[in-house]
Structure 1
């Protein structure tokens, strides 16, 4: 018998099934109240706008280009629209600094491939986005905890990486309403990260998937915008790589994301795309451009109005039903709330009981920690449940935690 494990590359052993993707299967069960999937509400998709966009493409001469091979960099009108949008948030760039990918997840995979040799170190927060860990794992890195508070020195990161047999290559984080915690890095933390990256001479990967989804509080400039201001306004002098997506604002199924960075990084990413899939779907890029140009801001305002009410409903329900000893974040935007249970309460064990006894689902927090910690935490998403369902689900979950902990 052929032993495939002897033939697979060693990096394949680092590839694990996503707990989140497995939990999404629960969405097909009508009896389950699911706070597990960090996905947008399909009822809020601009479906009629996309219907019109595809009709326009197929009714004119553009259909030939839409169905043909295209350039690896991406559909130029979409890249030019993104240039204008980036300018609104303080990032001056040209279309040469914008690269279209098949969802920002592909961008993370490419960046892992670009920077990481086996044994190199990636700095990530504890916890961090599970999809980023999955993307980076294939390139066999070591992880070190990125902390923007406290007194850890750049040299301590450097020495830890050397001890692990490689170099620090980049710091990855989601600065706005992060997945999984919903927390935002303040301006001082962003400035400190730029200082750290300059000292270590590493890249910064800024995952901005949720940046448009701010419901309250004052907006903070992206890390790339802050670095641009320091570096004389020339993006080609910066080390921050900004990864964005249309999945949380327009539609995830079209798989259109983008990377904004200096041209040296963009050129390398283009070569990777040529080798991987030539280019992202042209017709989907054209449809995204059509819809974005005609109504992006209105769409963002619509989803913000809906999600902010659901966030408020979940925060109110947590305050109403959770026993003493349970803590949670209070995000100013995004899709997630992070819950910390009393020490000794395991989130994965709680999930099994929650599904069996209370018909409620969430995502245990351990998978979001590169070091395997965080067993007493879990993530909840409020994006796909109405206020009544949120209240019912949190009520059931609070009752279960009281049963398990004996808390008041």
Structure 2
């Protein structure tokens, strides 16, 4: 059986492989980027589902337009203005099967073999998977706690041909939890404007802000229609619906719609209508506030135990939001080796090397704090700390 050449560039997700292991009874998982299932508004979603089937059963089970259910796109346009400080019309919005599809469609639109993708170092491994189908080269831009270092970005752009897009997660980045400063956001858009490069702003975590106000999106500083904004209901409502969206300028949106038509025709009509009805009847923001209260407490609990239990040679930072804590070990320690021993002790995490597209940097790990109950955090983090102490 002969596969296409592109399959040579693809391999399975480290996270998905680890998540299979977490299905073992008694496993404590800090691996996935999953929301807490006990916070899903099940009764409200049940009521919305019944209403959709009762009032619009035939339409909700039928094909719909590729762009998506218009009333839902109108709701998203309102949220984009209220939450992300940027004005889009519903016609500038495409409903996708999760924001992951938005990443994949971006690769399809912009990348040819050996084109260059610039990304933070480290960055989201799911984006690497989606882009690798199109055989690009990844160049990691040095990054600090304020975001990409602009002098380094400029140097790379001045010396590198075939840069097609810049992929960034400016709010509570996966995996590090970092957030870009406003100055870096403005500077990125000024630089991108000079080079006529598309900026893919992936923003699934922005509404999960635990301290301070949400910062304006990169898209709010876009003056040339260069930003492609990717949003999602997966982290703020539930991931099972797979409802995300792309916001883009009209000339880009036309291409995204054509690309999605070739991929899956449209996202689930039924799920789109349920999400729309849920937001029409119930208060999504109120539910997000409940999530934030729980996640803030779990973050603080995990940080407290890490501070107490982890060796002093280990470093970490407190994220202002999102779902992750990034832990850096001494350079002589390999987190993949720690994972093997940790799994034997019933605790899972994701090794940091998975988040560097060009390899290396194996002395870090990502911990998720949203998906485990307090007692599991109290039990699991000391177990992990004991394993790390063994290796040190």
TM-score higher than 0.5: yes
The alpha-carbon deviation at position 388 of structure 1 amounts to 2.3
Gaps of 5+ in 2: 143-147
In structure 1, the residue matched to 2:68 is 74
Query: Is 1:368 the equivalent of 2:362?
Result: no
Give the number of equivalent residue pairs: 385
8 Å Cα contact 2:22/2:348 also seen in 1? no
8 Å Cα contact 2:150/2:188 also seen in 1? no
TM-score between the two structures when normalised by the length of structure 1 = 0.92
Alpha-carbon displacement from aligned partner over 1:175-222 (angstroms, at most 9, x marks no partner): 111111111111111112112211221011000010110011332101
The alpha-carbon deviation at position 118 of structure 1 amounts to 0.5
In structure 1, the residue matched to 2:104 is 109
Secondary structure at 1:28 match in 2: coil
Query: Is 1:122 the equivalent of 2:110?
Result: no
The alpha-carbon deviation at position 158 of structure 1 amounts to 4.4
In structure 1, the residue matched to 2:85 is 90
CA distance in 2, matches of 1:246, 1:216: 21
8 Å Cα contact 1:74/1:99 also seen in 2? yes
CA distance in 2, matches of 1:367, 1:155: 26
CA distance in 1, matches of 2:273, 2:48: 8
Query: Is 1:316 the equivalent of 2:307?
Result: no
Query: Is 1:241 the equivalent of 2:228?
Result: yes
Secondary structure at 1:144 match in 2: strand
Alpha-carbon displacement from aligned partner over 1:241-273 (angstroms, at most 9, x marks no partner): 110000001111111100111011111011011
Write the mapping of 1:166-315 to structure 2, written as runs, cut at 5 A: 167-227=162-222, 231=223, 237-293=224-280, 294-315=282-303
CA distance in 2, matches of 1:158, 1:280: 40
In structure 2, the residue matched to 1:404 is 391
CA distance in 2, matches of 1:256, 1:153: 32
CA distance in 2, matches of 1:399, 1:275: 50
In structure 1, the residue matched to 2:24 is 29
CA distance in 2, matches of 1:75, 1:150: 39
Deviating more after overlay: 169-178 vs 195-204: 195-204
CA distance in 2, matches of 1:179, 1:81: 26
| Match of residue 14, structure 1, among 9, 14, 17 | 9
CA distance in 2, matches of 1:34, 1:50: 27
8 Å Cα contact 1:176/1:208 also seen in 2? yes
CA distance in 2, matches of 1:71, 1:118: 31
Secondary structure at 1:56 match in 2: helix
CA distance in 1, matches of 2:206, 2:213: 12
| Match of residue 54, structure 2, among 49, 53, 59 | 59
The alpha-carbon deviation at position 298 of structure 1 amounts to 1.1
Distance 1:216 1:123, change over 3 A: same
Q: Which runs of 4+ in 1 moved over 3 A?
A: none
In structure 1, the residue matched to 2:364 is 377
The alpha-carbon deviation at position 15 of structure 1 amounts to 1.1
